[in-house]
Amino acid sequence: MKFTIAVHGAPYASLANERALKFCSAVLAAGHDIVRVFFYHEGVLAALDSTVAPQDEIDITREWQKFALQQNTELAVCIANGLKRGLLSTEEQNRYDKTAPTLAAGFELVGLGQLIDGIAAADRYVEFPA
């Protein structure tokens, strides 16, 4: 079975990211596939490279990066939600004449069409709200 996952909740303000990450691991452990993980609304903050996790909490950005690298999973970030929350790829940093990119490695800014494409390619669509 193929899954597309959407994460809506902000890291450190909700458990959406942690639950989504555990769900993704369980999906793959059960022999299923993940089409993509799509970060939407406040969930895009998981892709912010400048976040520093509290010492007693997991670094959700790094955990997503490790997961994507190990499992070859796409981490897609809604560009509209990302830009208004300060997430900039190198391309967007240059386009808007900002001082530095802020998008963490392994994440990609994409349009909402990537979510629709992921839903169409999947057997199941699962959301993790705030």
Complete DSSP assignment for 31-42? T-EEEEEEE-GG
Q: 43: which 2 tokens?
A: 């969930």
CA max distance for the chain: 45
Q: Which secondary structure element, helix H or strand E, spans residue 77, and what is its range?
A: strand 75-78
Cβ atoms 126, 35 nearer than 8 A: no
Cβ atoms 85, 102 nearer than 8 A: no
Residue numbers annotated as active site: 78
Name the nearest CA neighbour of 90 among 44, 38, 49: 49
Name the nearest CA neighbour of 37 among 9, 4, 80, 64: 4
